[in-house]
Amino acid sequence: MKLNLNLTTLAGALTLGLSSVLTAPALASGGPYAVDDAGIATPGKFKLETWMSVADTDDLIFIASPGYVFEALPWIEFELTYERARRGGDWEDTLAPAVKIALRDVDEHGYGVALSLGSGHAGIVRRADTMYAVVPVTIPAGERLLVNVNAGVERDQETRQTEAVWGVGGQLLFDRGELIAETFGREGGTPGFQAGVRPYLFGGDIALEFAYGRNLDGDRANWLTVGLSFEF
């Protein structure tokens, strides 16, 4: 078993992004989807996102990602993601800290901007030994459709190489759930794709995740994902 603990000082490059959240529940984007929005959790509430992804190559990924926004710092979300993965028959554990800083408020500006900094498996960065800087962008297209755009960079801590990363996705919002589709990738790599449904429970404080994906980990495999997210 290999344990990667990425706690080095966050460094990287800046990127651009937009995000907005109409009247969707607080969970908004995120979860097992690679393309994120610029929304953060509700200040003073604890958020937990969990999911499991299984590939037709027998690879397996389990993620648990708690997050919290302090009421004294309502524009910053702190996260700590734990990943346990089986790749090629070998098990690996990763613990990865991250922060998301809200730069533009959705209610005030009609769009949101945030900067995400972190390490490990998060968003459009799918590898453990990395650090990243990404800004999500979400533009409302009508009353129920959100178009999310992510752009940024990741730096491989082992090879010391820096690559651009990107992602584009959409969320179709309904009263009791969402339909989500996305594509994402990195410089010189094969793009990944994922689509699924997110039913809401208890007014949106709890959400289930059911998704199909292709090439999520740069492996050209087919993936099935189930998950659960909640905020309290």
Query: One digit per residue, pLDDT tens: the chain, 232 residues?
Result: 434 444 333 333 322 222 323 333 333 468 899 998 888 889 999 999 999 999 999 999 999 999 999 999 999 999 999 999 998 889 989 888 999 999 987 777 878 889 999 987 556 555 667 899 999 988 888 889 989 999 999 998 888 889 999 999 999 999 999 999 999 998 888 999 999 999 999 888 899 999 999 998 777 899 999 999 998 8
Q: What is the pLDDT of residue 156?
A: 85
Q: What is the pLDDT of residue 193?
A: 95
Q: What is the pLDDT of residue 56?
A: 95
The token duo for 196 is 């699924």
Torsion over CA of 217, 197, 44 and 18, rounded to 10 degrees? 70
Closest among 17, 18, 8 to 139, alpha carbons compared: 18
User: Could you tell me the residue ranges of all domains in the chain?
Assistant: 2-231
Burial code (b: 16+ CB inside 10 Å, e: under 16) for 167-182 equals bbbbbebeeebbebbb
Q: What is the pLDDT of residue 98?
A: 92
- Specify the fold of 2-231: Porin (2.40.160)
Scanning the structure block, which residue is given the tokens 């800004």? 135
